[in-house]
Amino acid sequence: MRPDEPRGLDNSRYNDYPTCILLTSRDRQTLTVLPHTQTRRTWRFETVETEEREIYLLLQHVSGELIHELATLLRPSGVTPDQYHVLRILRDAGAAGTQLSEIALRSPAGDPDVTRLLDRLEKRGLARRSRDAADRRVITARITTEGTRLLEKLEDSVAALHARQIGPLGERGIRELRKLLQKVAEVGPVI
């Protein structure tokens, strides 16, 4: 344990992450995570903000860490988190496939560049696209057998990662967090 690290805080699982210092206006707690390279990148929250702004910043920070861990897990398979999510959407669509616009709507990242993502997946033989015979503007994407095999290979590892990330909340905490986040999501965009 380093001298500036709070007692009882085990940061070993974050050894490949940048340093993060979280200082909130109420409790001035500090979380320091030092990567193997000893390169410091500090994220600070030192100004007095509304609770809503603090929660927004915390959600952004946690989201970045969760995505980073998923990217690290997926890296050996050669797919990014966005590509992984597209493959999951295509697998859920079944043999009929789904239109590119539907993939964009279901993407956790919002509206990613679906064409670019599918270009890369197609190049690796993990997905394929076809134009609708009746309306050539409509493009349908489908997962390939190789794409399905890759998802099957990754399924247990990704499930274990998410269980480690979110599992400490317990069943009740997970249900409550899900309910609260769904409530926030239902607010929708401000126009």
Instruction: Indicate which CATH number applies to the domain containing 83.
Output: 1.10.10.10
Domain that holds residue 102: 51-168
Q: Is residue 189 part of a domain?
A: no
Residue 190, classified by CB atoms within 10 Å of its CB into exposed (0-12), middle (13-18) or buried (19+), is exposed
Reported as a pLDDT band with limits 50, 70 and 90, residue 12 is very low
Alpha helices in 75-169 (DSSP H): 81-93, 100-106, 114-123, 145-166
Domain boundary among 32, 48, 64: 48
Domain assignment present for residue 185? The answer is no
Count the domains in the chain: 2
135 and 69 together in one domain:
yes
Q: Check residue 9 and give its pLDDT.
A: 37
In a domain, 149, yes or no: yes
Please indicate, yes or no, whether residues 76 and 162 belong to a single structural domain of this protein.
Answer: yes
pLDDT score for 127: 97
Residues 154, 102 within the same domain: yes
Identify the burial level of 141 via C-beta atoms within 10 angstroms of its C-beta, where 0-12 means exposed, 13-18 middle and 19 or more buried: buried
* pLDDT per position as a tens digit, 45-93: 667 788 888 888 888 888 889 999 999 999 999 999 999 999 999 999 9
Closest CA to 118 of 89, 151, 96: 89
| Domain co-membership, 64 together with 82 | yes
